[in-house]
Structure 1
Amino acid sequence: MNPAPSIVFFTTASGAGYGLLFWLGLLRPLRMAPHAPEFGLLALAVALVLIVAGLASSLLHLGRPERAWRALSQWRSSWLSREGVAAIATFVPAGLFGLGLLTGWDGLAVPAGLLAALGAAATVWCTGMIYASLKPIRQWHHPLVAPGYMVFAGFSGAALLAALGALAGRATVPALLAIGLGLAALVLKRRYWAAIDAKPPRGTPTIESATGLGRIGRTRPLDPPHTEQNWLLREMGFRIARKHRDRLRGLALGGFGGAALLALLALPLGGPLAALLLAAGALLALGGLLVERWLMFAEATHTVTLFYTGEA
């Protein structure tokens, strides 16, 4: 698939924003993050800026952005519609969370923060299921895709909360979460790449199964259906050279592992040095995720390419 910059940015920025909102709403009532209202407002503002920027970016991918509201009506059958509904619904408790922080009323801030955390998790799951539910794209129709979205959002959100928490002198729990989830992201992505690189599972459509000529042997088109590049080949048949793929995979894993390592190094430290390490770790995490998101699209092939190249 041809990676669209707007969607790559959307899935990275909004995922990090929802991850930050999740950990803020969950950890603050447990006193595992700075409890000061000023810190909560700052972290909430960063989360909402990332979420809004990501959602706004996703609209650039639409041919008719003014009709985006129509997608919300199909929530019974469409994960895209469910994502939109969940994203909008999450703004309600997030707004009440901010109001509770602003007024210093924990009786409002605590339940609203927990509801916002629940809404953030639901939205990210819906985003992952948009891709995991697409059977014609075997690299996306995989059991690790939706859980991966949750891990990546939690990882980037924890890295951001740790960086912000270091400014307030309390970053231990978010840093530990960033370490654990960074390593989990690294392991999960390696397993995912190993799975999509392996021989396609039985039942995956092939040109042999489509033509019924599998008993004869390997089948290939005699003549291409088009004499020049068309939209389907450009968008659905995008290919990335193996050497570039391997290099980019290494960069993504380096971002995950580097962020976890910097968080580990920051644990025994304090003050400006810990804040600097955790800020660098958050940037590494986001950079690694940008590369990983780009690869998720670049490595995906639609079944329609069988018609053109004999391979999907």
Structure 2
Amino acid sequence: MHPAPSIIIFTVLSGAGFGYLALLAGAHGTGHIAFFQFALGFALAVTGLVASSFHLGNPQRALRAFSQWRSSWLSREAWASLAALLCMAVVGAYAVFFGQPLPFLALLGSALALLTVLATSMIYAQLKTVPRWNSALTPLYFLTTALAGGAILVGWTRLAVVALLVLGGIQIWAWAAGDRRFSARGHSMATATGLGGSGSIRLFEKPHSGQNYLLKEFAYDVGRRHAAKLRVISIILMCLLPAVLLVFLPASLPVIILAFALHLTGAIVSRWLFFAEAEHVVQLYYGRN
């Protein structure tokens, strides 16, 4: 799949923002401290959501996403994100101006924030035409990434280290399983064309003499050596280095900032691979195996 920058920014930043808000519900301060905490969470979440609109052909129609909540995970994501932001805005306002917690509303906002991340992941996990994504590992990967980033920002060192290590394991598992999933599903030229009962099927001539939208968006190629190097880089930056910093350096704001910056950089590399390595079955129709 073509790794559009807007989608990478959207999924990484919104995931980190909502993951932070979900954990911040039980760890926020009061006064000016709460102001900066909630401002950071909202900045990450809203920046990610705004970035998602740049991938639309007509960004002005983004509001229509709210109309299909019965059948669309994109619509459910939109409603969950709006509800989460509204809940956490009230929680943040009370913490800033009144210095008081709102436990029930904070818990509800936390659940809605995690539901938003889950809905984002299900947009991809539901696609049977992309076997690499069509797995329970996809929502686990999205949720663990969000919680790991959130735990770093909140300053819960032990939880952050555990989440980072679990994330590393899930990411490696997802890569290993994803590399085999396309062939394991039995997709072929026969299944792509619907001519499976007509004997051996092969491509006589390509459907198009040049590039088209489907080939541009769904037939992105990544070299194996290139992908292998990026996988190592993403694991080191996203999981290992932040965990090492949090374990061996005393807890402080500079350490948290550095650990989160490394984690975010690695998450961007990981998410680029998430899209770039995804194989859509439409490739078979064009003779690609």
Matched residue, 2:2? 2
Write the letter of the residue equivalent to 2:41: A
- Kept in 1, the 8 Å contact 2:14–2:44? The answer is yes
CA positional deviation for 1:309: 2.0
CA positional deviation for 1:160: 1.9
**Structure 1 residue ranges without an equivalent (≥5):** 29-34, 163-173
The reply on whether 1:149 has 2:142 as its aligned counterpart is: yes
What secondary structure does 2:55 align onto?
coil
- Kept in 2, the 8 Å contact 1:206–1:310? The answer is no
Matched residue, 1:298? 276
Matched residue, 1:265? 248
Matched residue, 2:171? 189
Give the aligned length.
Answer: 286
Matched residue, 2:215? 233
Match of 1:93 among 87, 94, 111: 87
Quick one: distance in 2 between partners of 1:208 and 1:214?
Answer: 8
CA positional deviation for 1:178: 1.2
Matched residue, 1:280? 258
Matched residue, 1:66? 60
Match of 2:76 among 76, 82, 95: 82
- Residue 59 and residue 199 in structure 1: after superposition, are their counterparts in 2 closer, same or farther (change >3 A)? closer
CA positional deviation for 1:43: 1.1
RMSD: 1.8
Quick one: distance in 2 between partners of 1:89 and 1:248?
Answer: 36
Write the letter of the residue equivalent to 1:121: L
What secondary structure does 1:83 align onto?
helix
The reply on whether 1:13 has 2:7 as its aligned counterpart is: no
Matched residue, 1:166? none
Q: After TM superposition, where is structure 1 displaced by more than 3 Å over at least 4 residues in a row?
A: 199-204, 208-211, 213-216
Give the percent of matched residue pairs that are identical in Structure 1 and Structure 2. 34
Quick one: distance in 2 between partners of 1:176 and 1:2?
Answer: 36
CA positional deviation for 1:105: 4.4
CA positional deviation for 1:200: 3.5
Quick one: distance in 2 between partners of 1:247 and 1:78?
Answer: 35
The reply on whether 1:211 has 2:195 as its aligned counterpart is: yes
Quick one: distance in 2 between partners of 1:146 and 1:281?
Answer: 23
Matched residue, 2:152? 159
Q: Scaled by the length of structure 2, what TM-score is found?
A: 0.93
CA positional deviation for 1:228: 1.5
- Kept in 1, the 8 Å contact 2:148–2:163? The answer is yes
Quick one: distance in 1 between partners of 2:265 and 2:34?
Answer: 25
- Kept in 1, the 8 Å contact 2:23–2:151? The answer is yes
CA positional deviation for 1:40: 2.1
Quick one: distance in 2 between partners of 1:59 and 1:200?
Answer: 30
Quick one: distance in 2 between partners of 1:52 and 1:286?
Answer: 16
CA positional deviation for 1:214: 9.3
CA positional deviation for 1:141: 0.7
- Kept in 1, the 8 Å contact 2:219–2:283? The answer is yes
- Kept in 1, the 8 Å contact 2:30–2:100? The answer is no
CA positional deviation for 1:215: 6.7
Quick one: distance in 1 between partners of 2:136 and 2:188?
Answer: 21
**Structure 2 residue ranges without an equivalent (≥5):** none
Quick one: distance in 2 between partners of 1:199 and 1:293?
Answer: 18
- Residue 200 and residue 303 in structure 1: after superposition, are their counterparts in 2 closer, same or farther (change >3 A)? closer
CA positional deviation for 1:154: 0.3
